[in-house]
Chain A
């Protein structure tokens, strides 16, 4: 009888530990999400469109020319953007954007180093598209999350 209770306790503990272990990555996860203003008519952008947009090429949705907004609030988000969104080194990305400015006068994406200012810029412009940590925008009803760009 004693032995049966002990086995049940161990099994329950093991299940609990397993559940916690499985849940831990989700709770601690970092997610970089693609965002637009809640007023934006954009419902989704595929990877190719996102890459075109942040390389300075023209992307139009419902008659609106979309405007890229760079998030440079921390080094990690910048690194993930370069690796996973435009797939370039920082030098190559810089040169690509400068090249388009030189060739056709394309306007360079605006960059923000402060998350509050970035959110304000996105909220104020229904054509703006940016990216941010999910935790920074998930509770803000004026920001619409389109999709997850990267997660850990």
Chain B
């Protein structure tokens, strides 16, 4: 029996007509549009290929963590005792659908959901919710712990629901392209534009594909320009840019900022270089916060350097230094400190650890770190088991 798509489309279109649109308007119908497009994909006309071939796959990245921190009453939002990151992808001709669903005891969220069209090999235009390309760390590791050598991510790279201060989840369009350069190298361009998170009470609030959205989302433009020494390799180095217009919703936030909106501009550079057995990951961000009604704007800097060394027996040792400048003077940064018993904003951190890949797709990691935060100093100890299935 053929699949009749008309009722579904009619339902979705009527739902769209009943509700206003995105970018500042409440209750838009984005997720219905995404569902419609995903449902339509398998029936799309194959005009460009003779073989009606599609393929799909999914991976589950699981991690369990034990945490102890001095001077902290509980583990932070970034340290769930267990989490699972389900990644699924479907490719049919030049169309792609891709999603990432993240689950912890306190959170279930469709972190990414993207539908793409690959114009030429490795040049894709995506629509949906994506991780902004100006984050050196998150575009490489996303929410999956297993592929991250260490346990923690640098504070400046934290997600919005972990009191992260840089908008990370954007809903809109993302263009990605990798093109050959010279005999072996490549350049990689990623550029995204869409709806930025809103600045709610003490946290950035990105568009949710599952829950209702109160609206208030304004424009985000982000980009990355990178050089890859090998087209097929993982090493890259490049420049980062982001500009997010954040609307401010709560009275407390308006009072602290003395502004009803904030324009956050990011300029950065990064390198992620592997020369086995060594790997170096470094990033530097300069952030400028423009406030509408304030007497002066703000700017601050943050960066990190991580060095990893593989050892015999599937062991890897790593160390990371994080540092910042002028973050403690920023009213924008102070918004994200909620004094709930864990550390939200770190000014500096030194971390060292060891990872043991004891089995195929399974690893044990230990990490100790010393943190200087906005309000205290702390030492932390973490142990983690991480795996990828199947």
The reply to whether the CB of A60 lies closer than 8 angstroms to some CB of chain B is yes
Give Cα A10 to B259, complex, Å.
103
> CB distance B147 to A99 under 8 Å?
yes
The reply to whether the CB of B96 lies closer than 8 angstroms to some CB of chain A is yes
| Chain B: interface size category | 35 or more
Say what secondary structure dominates the interface of chain A.
mixed
The reply to whether the CB of B357 lies closer than 8 angstroms to some CB of chain A is yes
Of B53-61, B242-250, B297-305, the one with at least 4 CB within 8 A of chain A: B53-61
> CB distance A65 to B57 under 8 Å?
no
Segment 306-326 of B: residues with Cβ below 8 Å from A = 314
Q: For residue A40, which residue of chain B has the nearest CB?
A: B51
A98-134 interface bits toward B, Cβ cutoff 8 Å, 1 = contact, 0 = none: 1101111111100000000000000001110000000
- B314 proximity list for chain A (CB < 8 A): 91
- A30 proximity list for chain B (CB < 8 A): none
The one of B59, B121, B176 that contacts A101, using a Cβ cutoff of 8 Å:
B59
- B61 proximity list for chain A (CB < 8 A): 102
- A65 proximity list for chain B (CB < 8 A): 49, 53, 91, 93-94
> CB distance B51 to A102 under 8 Å?
no
- B50 proximity list for chain A (CB < 8 A): 63-64
The one of B56, B118, B141, B276 that contacts A58, using a Cβ cutoff of 8 Å:
B118
Counted as pairs of residues, one from A and one from B, with CB atoms less than 8 Å apart, the total is 89
The reply to whether the CB of A92 lies closer than 8 angstroms to some CB of chain B is yes
> CB distance A125 to B53 under 8 Å?
yes
Give Cα A95 to B146, complex, Å.
9
> CB distance B49 to A105 under 8 Å?
no
The reply to whether the CB of A55 lies closer than 8 angstroms to some CB of chain B is yes
Segment 61-79 of A: residues with Cβ below 8 Å from B = 63-65, 67
Given contacts A57-B121, A91-B314, A108-B57, contact A102 B48 (CB under 8 A): no
Q: For residue B118, which residue of chain A has the nearest CB?
A: A58
Give Cα A94 to B359, complex, Å.
12
Give Cα A63 to B176, complex, Å.
21
The reply to whether the CB of B87 lies closer than 8 angstroms to some CB of chain A is yes
The 9 closest A-B pairs by CB, nearest first: A105-B89, A105-B98, A58-B121, A107-B57, A107-B55, A63-B49, A55-B232, A101-B59, A102-B144
Interface residue ranges, A against B (CB under 8 Å): 48, 51-52, 55, 57-60, 63-65, 67, 89, 91-92, 94-96, 98-99, 101-108, 125-127
